[in-house]
Amino acid sequence: MIKLQIVGNLGRDGVLKEVNGKNVINFSVAHTERFRDASGNQQERTTWVDCSYWTDRTGVAPYLKKGTLVYAEGTPTAEAYTGRDGNAGVALRLRVFSLQLLGPSPRNEGNGTEVAVGTQDYGAQSGGSGTEVSDDLPF
């Protein structure tokens, strides 16, 4: 199994959907890396990851607001696409099995303490039904 861990800010609000009787929360996470190139110039590179969190714990969806700092862990895939301008690109996608809110939404007041959302373990052949491993919040 390949596992990807990402810490970043949500690029858009989470969207809760039902697909074939199962719940999924879709959101995107951005991670910006700042560095100096060989010439000494400051550079910035943002990597976007489209995330799908298949879970029965849908109460977390209202907390997934644009700008919120999160930790997501899951299985990555890369998909090729052709943009509207005709240029080819690659989208990085993550099937999330562990999600943690690392701070309050920028739209909400809060003390910035870490909130554990819980983890979900997807069996290798489970197709996403999942078995709940832990749950630290009452929703």
Which structure tokens are listed for 126?
Answer: 């489970």
The band of 57, judged by pLDDT with boundaries at 50, 70 and 90, is confident
pLDDT value at residue 1: 84
Residue 126 lies in a domain: yes
For the whole model, what pTM was predicted? 0.70
State the CATH number of the domain containing residue 108: 2.40.50.140
Structural domains of the chain, count = 1
Strand residues in 37-130 grouped as ranges (E): 42-54, 69-82, 88-101, 115-121
Q: Tens digits of per-residue pLDDT, 78-90?
A: 999 898 999 998 8
Residue 139 lies in a domain: no
Do strands 42-54 and 22-36 pair parallel, antiparallel, or not at all (unpaired)? antiparallel
- Full domain range(s) for residue 29: 4-35+42-134
